[in-house]
């Protein structure tokens, strides 16, 4: 009997996780500019991961409550959620088709990041880990250096860019 109850609870938990949906936000960041943010909260979260995808930035399309991009970090969002982390994926501001190398360290990008991070902290007051992969490591590192915010708990870089 105990096994049946445990199995039923496990299946219900999986269905709740599988049916959870994120939200797409357009956060005002500069005069007349909004930056997209994918946000999904984990039940009983212990921290938030603030993700910077590589390439030209962004998280792909927003479909059925999910970010659909093929980037490593975007694809990893369900794993972060399943392990108790809120997921915030930084998109792109509406005045840029792509976040290039130099754009990722410019003051206007840091302004966008700071405003989106401020919005994320309104969603959850948990510690925030900044994570970047590939070209996103440029944004993540610039954020760790430029955005002085006590909510930032740490920095994680994957497939780091070592030269342009």
The pLDDT tens digits for 43-52 are 999 999 999 9
pLDDT in tens, 115-148: 999 999 999 999 999 999 999 999 999 999 998 8
- pTM comes to 0.85
Question: Facing residues of 49 across strands?
Answer: 87, 129
pLDDT in tens, 74-91: 999 999 999 999 999 999
Question: Facing residues of 26 across strands?
Answer: 36
Chain Cα centroid distance, residue 48: 8
Q: Judge contact between 138 and 90, C-beta under 8 A.
A: no
Chain Cα centroid distance, residue 115: 14
pLDDT in tens, 99-120: 988 999 999 999 999 999 999 9
Asked if the model's pLDDT at residue 20 lies above 80, the reply is no
């Amino acid at each position: 009997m105990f096994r049946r109850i445990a199995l039923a609870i496990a299946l219900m938990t999986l269905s709740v996780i599988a049916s959870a949906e994120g939200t797409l936000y357009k956060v005002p960041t500069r005069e007349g500019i909004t930056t997209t943010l994918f946000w999904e909260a984990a039940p009983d979260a212990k921290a938030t991961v603030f993700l910077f995808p590589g390439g030209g930035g962004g998280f792909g399309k927003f479909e059925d409550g999910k970010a659909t991009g093929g980037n490593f970090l975007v694809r990893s969002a369900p794993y972060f959620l399943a392990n108790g982390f809120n997921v915030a994926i930084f998109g792109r501001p509406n005045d840029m088709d792509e976040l290039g190398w130099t754009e990722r360290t410019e003051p206007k990008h840091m302004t966008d990041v700071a405003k989106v991070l401020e919005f994320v902290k309104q969603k959850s007051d948990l510690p925030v880990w900044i994570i970047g992969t590939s070209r996103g490591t440029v944004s993540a590192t610039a954020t760790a250096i430029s955005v002085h915010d006590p909510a930032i708990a740490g920095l994680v870089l994957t497939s780091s860019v070592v030269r342009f």
